[in-house]
Structure 1
């Protein structure tokens, strides 16, 4: 059975707030914690209901549209609703693929990071990415997921391992580049939902996931750009890093495009 949203939240909170606060959370009265868990489960149920509605509408698009267009009786408003659902479903498919790949990045990095601080960074953020992946795995049935997950697992693992073999700084720059793209990708989904007012539970989940990804990016950026963390790179190294960031961003964009349709 898929872990409840509340279970994931409790695990994520403990990972973020540290030992003392986690112990305080664990010591909360059982009735209070149970009530909080129930609210979280109901919230996930709302997201699931909206996703199921999107899937039902998007699935009806192809066959239904061919039938109606064949009779030249297309109703534009209904057509637009179905097209919006189809686009949103493809977005959710890419979100699942992205979180799947993100977990693989940190799994690839973990055996090779150089310092205790970098290892702590990886362990903190991989817990959060696993939480995101649990959400999307629960929300999207297997038939709606990309068939390229084995490829993204290999690509993600490699993307985490290679820079970690070079230096902690290389890993942080890679995470910065990945999460910069992810923030943009999430906002491309969130902004139309804000404008239309549709699927508010889905939008809220996307906003919270995006907020987490921005935190990952900012944490990585602080670690590789802080003067106290490493000396300023040479002009040659700056050029190499800029090229690498462009490669990572372009690869992420290509992965999203493929995951929409395969």
Structure 2
């Protein structure tokens, strides 16, 4: 066989060698990219479609029923009344107590400032939501002032027992409001409605104020509220009066 023929045959044999594995893999990836690209594109299209559908159908805001509106109005009304009474009690108690016990001045000032802040909050909410304040505002003002002044004259322990009794009732009252609102929100979400930021902020405000009221209760106990005489009778009368004022202010 001529040298030129042998060279030609050798070239033909080399061209018939199998394609290496790595080369076959690259070739397959280049030759058939459509399946991979289609699956990626499909996933992207599906995700975009889902996102578009979610954006197109946001959760609805819950239209309040008459019962829900009435509850929220009465809650704001009675809270405003309670905070007004608290500021008047501390205003009346402070001069006699501080004259007899000067070391109580910072505590009385601290509790009054917090109550004044609570009252300012509910005054704002009452105005914002156009809720009618209680018609018994003048009566509660007189009674709160009288309660603060009389318990302060009875002594430090009686004044602190007054704070303990009032804050016990107020703390339970705020807890009941918070519990009712959370149940309402849970029902709204179960029905597919959205609980807006305004309602979530209201829950946060009620919790903060409740905690500060319970802080006042702790201060009263630490300053010998339970040493008042007669402790049981005094606190029972005050707590009953608070419950009556709450019930009446929710309705009148």
TM bracket, shorter-chain basis: 0.5 to 0.7
Rg bigger for which structure? Answer: 2
Q: Is 1:242 aligned to 2:232, yes or no?
A: yes
Q: Is 1:214 aligned to 2:210, yes or no?
A: no
The residue aligned with 1:119 is 105
Rounded Cα–Cα distance in structure 1 between residues aligned with 2:74 and 2:131: 12
Query: Is the 1:118–1:168 Cα contact (8 Å) retained in structure 2?
Result: no
Q: Deviations over 1:99-145 (max 9, x none)?
A: 01000000110121120122322111000000000001011027511
Q: Deviations over 1:196-240 (max 9, x none)?
A: 3252111111111001001010111111169xxxxx67xxx3xx2
Instruction: Flag structure 1 segments of 5+ consecutive residues without an equivalent.
Output: 1-52, 58-80, 227-231
Bigger relative contact order, structure 1 or 2 (CA pairs below 8 A, ≥6 apart): 2
Rounded Cα–Cα distance in structure 2 between residues aligned with 1:261 and 1:252: 15
Rounded Cα–Cα distance in structure 2 between residues aligned with 1:189 and 1:220: 24
TM-score, scaled to structure 1: 0.63
TM-score, scaled to structure 2: 0.65
Query: Is the 2:77–2:131 Cα contact (8 Å) retained in structure 1?
Result: no
Rounded Cα–Cα distance in structure 1 between residues aligned with 2:112 and 2:246: 20
Aligned CA-pair RMSD:
2.1
Q: Is 1:110 aligned to 2:94, yes or no?
A: yes
Instruction: Flag structure 2 segments of 5+ consecutive residues without an equivalent.
Output: 1-60, 186-194
Query: Is the 2:92–2:145 Cα contact (8 Å) retained in structure 1?
Result: yes
Query: Is the 2:170–2:213 Cα contact (8 Å) retained in structure 1?
Result: yes
Q: Is 1:255 aligned to 2:245, yes or no?
A: yes
